[in-house]
Amino acid sequence: MSQLEAAADALGVEMPAADCFLCRRPLTAWLTLPGDWRKPRSVRPWHLLWCDSCSFGAVAPRPSPEELAAAYAVDDYYTHHAPQAVAAVRSLADRLRVKLAWYADLGVEAELAPWSLARHGVRAPASLCDVGCGNGGTLRTMAAAGFQVVGIEPDGDACRTANAAGLHVVEGSAENWPAALSDRTFDVVTMMHVLEHTMDPVAAVARIADALRPGGTFFVETPNNACRGLREAGIAWRWLDAPRHLNFFTPASLQAVCTQAGLEIAAVEYTGYARQFQHDWLSDEQEIHRRLKQLAAGASQIKSTPLRPRNSAWRAMSLLRQTWNASPAEKYDSVRVIARKR
Ligand SMILES: [Zn+2]
């Protein structure tokens, strides 16, 4: 970026130009955040651009390596720690709302389990590589079910935690494939809520396609940016999380990135309905809203996207009414694509 462009960017006066990773046509303005909600003092615009023909979004310009490292250097980032217990539901209204949502939740299980794979004909003792495995939760489940498992994880601390627990996890990523695994192919590659973090999602999936044996299966899940929850919450949507999330998929664009890598789509599944109505989801969005509001107030020169009304029990009930009978693409916060190598 030139000095002039950088200055314009800092002032929030001009939308940066960037091309769609999928179709290479120019992206257009979508959302602008006044900063990173996890970094209360980081006033700096994050522009999210969109491709209408692919229904795909991307942060542009991409963060520098230093900015990216800083974005993950937050105390509560999940990969460093053991999974936390789900916060208890609080009031009677919370319990009732969540119960209603559970009745309407016909999505698949949120955590990948042996039966998530068996549904698509994949069974132990298949070899499985989990890309972006964090501290190894999925690997542990699959190893216990008889799969031969290996993990790839960019976070050194998470690697050490997983290896100390007896798993085989190698430092690296889809875009920076570890040399130790360069000759190996797998029956299954899983990538759960990781593709949205990659600098080049097309290159990432192409590398994964290379690591699959013919007939091998790829399970990939990302937030679903076609869902109504995003439209309601706007820039305070819990799964937006820029600049850790750099790519924004919908069911159409998640399938497109797989077919571009030469994979065949076997199935599309949805997950994450009832959790959007739980107490911890509401309180997280309220906190994100509060912090973005603070960031925006401290950066009047940034033309950030106006905040939508803050989430509340009332707004959650309204979302429940709107989505109860909606199509899966509008209803669920996440989408999973199952794709096969020919
Ligand atoms: Zn496009």
> How many whole angstroms from 50 Cα to the centroid of ligand 1?
8
**Residues in the chain, how many?**
342
pTM: 0.92
pLDDT, position 76: 57
Q: Kindly state the helix (H) or strand (E) to which residue 187 belongs, with its residue range.
A: strand 186-192
Query: What are the pLDDT digits (tens) for 140-165?
Result: 999 999 999 999 999 999 999 999 99
Amino acid identity at 58:
A
> How many whole angstroms from 56 Cα to the centroid of ligand 1?
6
pLDDT of residue 9 exceeding 80, the answer is: no
d(CA 72, CA 61): 18
> How many whole angstroms from 71 Cα to the centroid of ligand 1?
26
pLDDT, position 299: 83
Query: What are the pLDDT digits (tens) for 91-143?
Result: 888 889 999 999 999 999 999 999 999 999 999 999 999 999 999 999 999 99
Phi, psi of 139 (to 5 degrees): -60, -45
Residue 153 and residue 132 in contact, taking contact as beta carbons nearer than 8 Å: yes
Angle between helices 92-104 and 313-323 (to 10 degrees): 20
Instruction: Report the pLDDT averaged over residues 324-341.
Output: 98
pLDDT, position 275: 96
Instruction: Report the pLDDT averaged over residues 1-20.
Output: 63
> How many whole angstroms from 307 Cα to the centroid of ligand 1?
26
Q: Is 163 exposed, middle or buried (0-12, 13-18, 19+ CB in 10 A)?
A: middle
Q: Is 194 exposed, middle or buried (0-12, 13-18, 19+ CB in 10 A)?
A: buried
Instruction: Report the pLDDT averaged over residues 23-42.
Output: 94
| DSSP codes joined into one string, 75-123 | TT-GGGSPPPPPPPP-SHHHHHHHHHHHHH--PPPSS--HHHHHTTT--
Query: What are the pLDDT digits (tens) for 287-323?
Result: 999 999 999 998 888 899 999 999 999 999 999 999 9
> How many whole angstroms from 52 Cα to the centroid of ligand 1?
7
